[in-house]
């Protein structure tokens, strides 16, 4: 039987004829006509045994029998020599993808990209010393060029988004009298699409400052554009000097109108130096962290609501103490969120980092970025806003003063307020001109409050290193407005006088009911 003689019988078709085997076909001629690059090397020196027409067309004539190091330098350029050694030792094929190589020896010249597979080629006589490696290279130049164009397009798209994102962020933070700020924005790594993180600092007047940080839950140019619209809206709403929860209520409706498919988290806070607290409202955002002068870190917990754009929620405001010497941090989730890790663990790590972070706001900001392991290859956008309420002493403290007087009403209230203001301004050593302007402003604001407001009434004077602030509060919620005064009018001139003599003025409703009307005078530098 054939099996007994060590040979296998050829299989037969249904009609009884023998099925052809591989040896019946003319394979060398077929390999020579294939468009793929094919070469066969043998022995430990990888001497060339065969190269088809496509191979010689790409790299030029190659002399059989020469070692690959000398006769086929393109194999070394492709990084195949070590790979062929592995194939000979293991007997397993290996593949490398999209290797670029110069094909200058060919008539056409130029560069090409190839995916190369090295296959073990044993000898029929079983001689291991003559075993070889079949090199099969497929030209993928067109695919590589298309992939590079796609990558270049993605880079341009990303650069456009990053440029738009940075241009929409404040180029320079406002620095109010009572607080110091620093902020950092870092886009995600090259493999991450740019998000919609933003922050801002807005001076409201009368020494009050608003801060905001938010994150549009989207990627690319669209998210950056939505972010820009929200940031612009926040600045506009902040000028109305509304409580934080009312600002978020307005933003909630606007976010749904801009793009119902994209929502955003946001926290908006207002600092009043007279109260020493940070009033805030949060729309699904991470909690504000505050570090006191002793290094103790507290979270601003409730209240918080759903993200902007969801609708149907009445936001409320809360507050957290911000005494002199304290530092507050507002941030987006990219700083604390990690894959396979609960976000509370990230916030706890940020608390530990903040507890030991001292120095200027920029130093604290940089230290938090490093402590949380944020690098250039981070997989998400990161925005951090650090504000400090500095503790002042010595000569610096002499530039900051407060004085207040409760007004009981009646005919003696106005003269008493003028006398109080005159004495305070004189003790603060203002120039006679500024002293007289300040007393005039007090007279007009108090007179306006006595005529149109209701008790309780209070006069507050505040001096900083850059301005004099005069503020009068009362229990009536009707806000004054400046109007055109005709020559024959006997009333309505108070606000016009204030607007003329002061650097700026404004009014707002107070949280407990009532209003505050204020004006500022810039101090000479």
CA distances from 7 to 11, 14, 60, 121 (A): 12, 22, 42, 22
CA separation for the pair 151, 126 (Å, rounded): 48
Q: Which two tokens stand for residue 80?
A: 């195949």
User: What does the pLDDT read at residue 335?
Assistant: 93
DSSP state of 73: H
User: What does the pLDDT read at residue 1?
Assistant: 38
Instruction: Report the run of H or E that residue 367 belongs to, with start and end.
Output: helix 361-371
Q: Which two tokens stand for residue 401?
A: 């003063």
Helices (H), 169-274: 220-239, 244-258
Q: Which two tokens stand for residue 487?
A: 């020559």
Q: Which of 454, 379, 371 is nearest to 409 (CA)?
A: 454
CA separation for the pair 442, 463 (Å, rounded): 14
| Dihedral (Cα; 215, 217, 222, 225), 10-degree rounding | -20
The pairing of strands 94-102 and 196-205 is unpaired
CB of 357 closer than 8 Å to CB of 386 = no
User: What does the pLDDT read at residue 108?
Assistant: 47
pLDDT tens-digit profile, the chain (525 residues): 344 444 555 566 566 666 666 566 667 777 777 888 999 999 888 999 999 988 888 888 888 989 988 889 888 888 898 899 999 888 899 999 888 887 755 444 578 888 999 999 888 777 777 789 999 998 888 888 888 888 888 778 767 767 776 777 888 888 899 899 999 988 776 554 566 889 999 999 899 999 999 998 876 677 778 888 999 999 999 988 899 999 999 999 888 888 777 889 999 999 999 888 999 999 999 999 999 999 999 999 877 889 998 877 889 999 999 999 999 999 999 899 888 888 999 999 999 999 999 999 999 999 999 999 888 778 788 999 999 999 888 777 888 999 999 998 777 889 999 999 999 999 999 999 999 999 999 999 999 999 888 889 999 999 999 999 999 999 999 998 877 666 555 556 788 889 999 999 999 998 888 999 999 999 987
Q: What residue has token string 């409580």?
A: 243
Helices (H), 198-315: 220-239, 244-258
111 preceded by a cis bond (ω within 30 of 0): no
User: What does the pLDDT read at residue 4?
Assistant: 45
The pairing of strands 504-509 and 467-474 is unpaired
How many helices (H) and strands (E) the chain has is answered by 13, 21
**Cα Rg for the chain, rounded, in angstroms?**
39
CA separation for the pair 181, 184 (Å, rounded): 11
User: What does the pLDDT read at residue 172?
Assistant: 85
CB of 372 closer than 8 Å to CB of 354 = no
Q: DSSP letters of 115-183?
A: EEEEEEE--TT--GGG-EEEEEEEE-HHHHHHHHHHHHHHHHHHHHHHHHHHHHS-SS----SS-EEEE
CB of 59 closer than 8 Å to CB of 105 = yes
Q: Which two tokens stand for residue 360?
A: 């200027």
User: What does the pLDDT read at residue 78?
Assistant: 87
Confidence (pTM): 0.73
User: What does the pLDDT read at residue 378?
Assistant: 80
CB of 35 closer than 8 Å to CB of 114 = no
């Amino acid at each position: 039987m054939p099996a007994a003689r060590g040979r296998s019988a050829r299989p037969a078709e249904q009609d009884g004829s023998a099925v052809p085997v591989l040896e019946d076909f003319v394979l060398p001629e077929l390999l020579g006509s294939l468009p793929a690059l094919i070469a066969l090397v043998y022995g430990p020196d990888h001497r060339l045994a065969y190269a088809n027409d496509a191979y010689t067309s790409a790299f030029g004539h190659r002399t059989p029998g020469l070692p690959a190091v000398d006769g086929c330098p393109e194999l070394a350029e492709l990084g195949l020599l070590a790979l062929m050694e592995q194939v000979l030792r293991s007997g397993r094929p290996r593949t490398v993808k999209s290797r670029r190589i110069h094909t200058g020896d060919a008539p056409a010249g130029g560069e090409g990209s190839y995916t190369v597979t090295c296959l073990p080629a044993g000898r029929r006589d079983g001689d291991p010393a003559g075993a070889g490696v079949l090199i099969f290279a497929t030209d993928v130049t067109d695919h590589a060029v298309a992939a590079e164009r796609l990558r270049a397009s993605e880079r341009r798209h990303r650069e456009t988004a990053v440029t738009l994102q940075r241009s929409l962020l404040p180029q320079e933070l406002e620095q109010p009298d009572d607080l110091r700020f620093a902020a950092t924005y870092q886009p995600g790594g090259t493999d991450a699409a740019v998000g919609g993180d933003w922050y801002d600092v807005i001076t409201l007047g009368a020494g009050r400052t608003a801060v905001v940080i938010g994150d549009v839950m989207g990627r690319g140019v669209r998210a950056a554009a939505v972010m820009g619209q929200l940031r612009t809206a926040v600045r506009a709403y902040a000028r109305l000097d509304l409580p934080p929860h009312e600002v978020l209520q307005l933003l909630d409706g606007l976010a749904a109108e801009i793009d119902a498919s994209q929502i955003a988290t946001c926290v908006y806070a207002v600092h009043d130096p007279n109260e020493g607290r940070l009033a805030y409202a949060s729309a699904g955002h991470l909690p504000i962290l505050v570090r006191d002068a002793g290094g103790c870190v507290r979270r601003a917990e409730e209240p918080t609501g759903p993200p902007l754009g969801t609708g149907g929620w009445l936001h409320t405001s809360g507050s957290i103490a911000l005494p002199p010497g304290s530092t507050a941090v507002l941030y987006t989730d990219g700083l604390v969120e990690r894959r396979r890790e609960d976000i509370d663990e990230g916030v706890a790590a940020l608390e530990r980092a903040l507890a030991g972070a001292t120095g200027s706001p920029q130093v604290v900001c940089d230290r938090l970025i490093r402590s949380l392991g944020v690098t250039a290859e981070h997989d998400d956008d990161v925005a951090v806003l650090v504000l400090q309420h500095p503790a002042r002493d010595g000569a610096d403290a002499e530039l900051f003063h407060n004085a207040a007087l409760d007004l009981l009403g009646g005919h003696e209230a106005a003269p008493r307020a003028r006398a109080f203001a005159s004495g305070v301004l004189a003790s603060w050593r203002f120039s006679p001109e500024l002293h007289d302007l300040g007393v005039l402003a007090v007279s007009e604001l108090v007179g306006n409050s006595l005529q149109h407001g209701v008790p309780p009434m209070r006069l507050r004077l505040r001096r900083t290193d850059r301005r004099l602030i005069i503020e009068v509060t009362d229990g009536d919620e009707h806000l004054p407005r400046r109007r055109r005064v005709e020559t024959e009018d006997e009333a309505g001139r108070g606000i016009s006088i204030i607007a003329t003599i002061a650097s700026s003025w404004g009014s707002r409703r107070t949280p407990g009911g009532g209003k505050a009307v204020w004006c500022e005078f810039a101090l000479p530098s």
